[in-house]
Structure 1
């Protein structure tokens, strides 16, 4: 990390970073470590969670634009979280919290069941080489832990600039019994709550189509995860 990022971590982490019990790996979450959102944010409010927040451009913009909503950024790269804290502090986004952890473990072990109003997955790593596609985030297993975390009627919003990943996402989510499409046609319209980032502009500039998807958690669809 840069000197500024190191300073952000030492000076701002207490305000923004959720401290969690770890399992074996540095970015793991110990099972049965659920937080109390009211205690973490100091109030009861709608909760929006972004997976893979990167440097935080989208979630800092959203948090500063909607102070009535609570936001959680999930990211495994410490430098990105440091940049997010710097920008959040400048923007006065006191309704934002960050967690350095693997996203599926956050959904399964850290967030209480049915506690999330919206879950965002914007431009996840496409692992575009064929031998690496098994590492992609959006799988049937991910759909299960996302369903656990979301409230009845909660929204899962996805976006990618890799068409084959978009097709995979759509296949996975269409097959997930706990979700239903929240759009008509082949693709969802662009989510207007997603700020246009340099990353998205770059993808469009090199000719990649941006694909959005939106799914609603079916009421009463929550089922316990298998041990």
Structure 2
């Protein structure tokens, strides 16, 4: 299920397959293709830590004899059983639940600082009532068409940084529900060029965010990603 939110509230709710037909009629301001700055996956994950192999088949000095090593491994598996594996099929399996948000009245300088301090490429924009109305993206903040010119005075730059995020956010913004299939999420990301999408419940309350980097992490981690779920 797809929902599209703008400054006036919910503008559309329906099948993701209708996105291409519906979204052009909902665009606010000028249509634009976003140059996406994708968040980097966390390559510090233990899945990428590879121990150096001993040379010439020699056993490292700290290695246990094989029977003892097997016993230690078995004990560890009993004390810390592996989590149940299941294919990752839906947005709820990969989304980030601790979502960072900004408000439409927040100055551009503060919004930019929020993204920089959290290492984010985007953040959902909420109004005074806490309702989703847009998306702040680093790509849009860096758009040449928006930024003052290098030769402009400091006053012009200060005025730009002081304007509210409502003037630079992407709106309307699509949102998906936690039960959305990942392949349909990928379709929306491709169609819109956005770096990620807010995740809302049936009542429209923001419950998380899912980004392209979340999908990339799902591709390289266990359990396997299932993009062919029915």
The normalised TM-score by structure 1 is 0.29
The normalised TM-score by structure 2 is 0.29
